[in-house]
Amino acid sequence: MSLEERYKSEKSKWDEIARKNSENLEILEDGENFHRYAAENSELPGISEFLGNLEGQHLLELGCGSGKMAVLLAKSGANVTAFDLSPVSVQTARQFAALNNTDIDVAVASGEQLPFANESFDIIFGKSILHHLIINLGRQDIYRVLKRGGMAVFVEPLGMNPVLTFARKYVPYHHKHPVGVDQPLTYGDIRAWTHEFRSVKFREVELLSMVERAFGWDTKFILLRKLDKFLLKNIPFLRRFCRYVVIYINK
């Protein structure tokens, strides 16, 4: 599939998702920001602590979708620039920001061709975006636009659990997105994305507790989360079968 064909497929998919999301935009609670949101979200462990104080930081979000994360980051004090390949997503993100009285810069762009100057950003953030991109193209631009000494964090699906791979392809569940050009990451992919950076760490999350996803975004199975913590600490081999990986990067 050519790059143009990939873009056409992804635009169609995410435009449709954004149209549905635009019908249910929320007004965030008073005081809601990224740090508070991350502290309560099992998919974002350690990110708030890693990034620290966001006040005045120039931050780029890759693949902003309907804009919730961009707005939360801005409410924590960051100067946020965000983009998405989907024009409808960008329009929805602007609506969401306006609804929540928040200033963010949003543009239509692709992750392989970033329209930003070299070393423009102190921080780059992305949630479920790298696995949509072509590694050899995307990594060069991510490295290019991040300032020397800057930080990047990515939350990505892992693709090494055969049961999970089957479920992603064939099993219907709540809020499931259609499969497109997505390729969940392997450890080799993580190395390929990050080998140029000065420091890279990653943490796998959601082993047994990944079943929460089938019951909706707000479901929490506390016992399974406790079992995950024990198993992932004491049986490292199981980490490859997790649903997500969080990648912490220093340039």
Residue 174 has what pLDDT? 59
Q: What is the pTM of this model?
A: 0.93
Q: pLDDT tens-digit profile of 95-151?
A: 999 999 999 999 999 999 999 999 999 999 999 999 999 999 999 999 999 999 999
The backbone torsions φ and ψ at residue 26, rounded to the nearest 5 degrees and listed phi first, read -105, 155
Residue 215 has what pLDDT? 78
Q: Which of 180, 156, 158, 160 is nearest to 169 (CA)?
A: 180
Q: Which of 138, 132, 74, 128 is nearest to 101 (CA)?
A: 74
Q: Which of 36, 24, 26 is nearest to 99 (CA)?
A: 26
Residue 170 has what pLDDT? 79
Does domain 3-204+243-250 fall under CATH 1.10.1760.20? My reply is no
Q: Which of 18, 37, 39 is nearest to 29 (CA)?
A: 37
Spans of the chain, pLDDT less than 70: 173-178, 217
Per-domain boundaries in the chain? 3-204+243-250
Q: What's the Rg (C-alpha) of the chain?
A: 17
Rounded to whole angstroms, the Cα distance separating 54 from 247 reads 18
